[in-house]
Amino acid sequence: MSDETADEYAPVLSGDAPSDYERYLRTDELLSLQKTGSERVHHDELLFQVVHQSSELWLKHAGFEVATATDEIREDDLSGAIRLLRRATLGLRLVTAQLEMLEHMSPWEYQTVRRVLGHGSGFDSPGFRTIAEVSPRLGDAFSSVLDGAGLDAVELYKRGREFEDLYQLAELLVDWDARVSLWRSHHYKVVQRIIGANVVGTQGTPVELLQRLPNNQFYPWLWEARTALTEAAKLED
Ligand code: HEM
């Protein structure tokens, strides 16, 4: 490479790192957020931290998209909201898929990692707290739009072709709700596999309770509409 070419591609962003890639992504800081080799009490701590930290990043992103989609629904930009909700649900799929990585830890060896977690518990996950905040607001915004169109969920499903954007949105809310439940089911299975089903967590929660959480729904009315449709179909037979 000539000196001229080297200068042409020299970093232009502010920062001390040797390249713009590292400066933009702040890789120095990012990669220093995991314990160093001498700080780790067990080899698997890196795996454990990476799964949790990357989950927090994807959840931060998903929560941001859901909050923005909610604003767009309120401003009547339904297709904009559809675009954002698609990525938010994909984010939850990624977070669910990476739970599988935790299954590579031995249940006995994990006990060594567990000893250094203090009272750390997923109940304090900022990502999941954001999801608990933004999801009901999304449901409220969508049901106001449905009300404005003079529709309820059952009517919307019966006449979906006439209200394509509303139909797509209803299905995305169901996807979102389902994805949170599916994460919880998979999380419970991982917990059961690693620490067992009849123990209490680092914040004293019986693991048994986690088994019931997948039944929680943000939008029960959208799920109940399915039952109503099945009942309505029976009357038409
Ligand atoms: C070895 C892997 C894991 C174990 C053994 C585990 C264990 C537990 C336990 C026992 C609880 C009940 C609360 C308590 O601590 O007392 C819990 C809750 C929770 N955990 Fe985990 N967990 C694991 C991985 C993860 C991961 C990767 C996340 C992603 C951020 C996560 C997020 C949560 C959340 C959000 C809750 C609250 C319950 C809910 O909303 O469903 N956990 N976990």
Q: Which domains does the chain have, with CATH numbers?
A: 1-32 (no CATH), 44-236 (1.20.58.480)
Q: The dihedral of CA 152, 153, 159, 162: what is its sign?
A: positive
Q: Which residues have CB under 8 Å from 136's CB, separation 6+?
A: 218
**What angle, 0 to 180 degrees and rounded to 10, lies between the N-to-C axes of helices 45-74 and 126-148?**
20
pLDDT per residue rounded down to tens, the chain (237 residues) = 556 566 889 999 999 999 999 999 999 999 999 999 999 999 999 999 999 999 999 999 999 999 999 999 999 999 999 999 999 999 999 999 999 999 999 999 999 999 999 999 999 999 999 999 999 999 999 999 999 999 999 999 999 889 999 999 999 999 999 999 999 999 999 999 999 999 998 888 899 999 999 999 999 999 999 999 999 999 988
Lookup result for tokens 């990525």: 87
Q: How far is the CA of 52 from the centre of ligand 1 (A)?
A: 10
Distance 190 CA to ligand 1 centre (A): 9
Ligand 1 site-directed mutation target among 108, 191, 211, most atoms within 8 Å of CB: 191
- The C-alpha atoms of residue 139 and residue 222 are separated, in whole angstroms, by 10
- The secondary structure of residue 194, as a DSSP letter, is H
CA 95/CA 190 separation, integer angstroms: 13
Q: Which atom of ligand 1 is nearest to the CA of 99?
A: 27
Which residue has the CA at smallest separation from atom 34 of ligand 1?
122
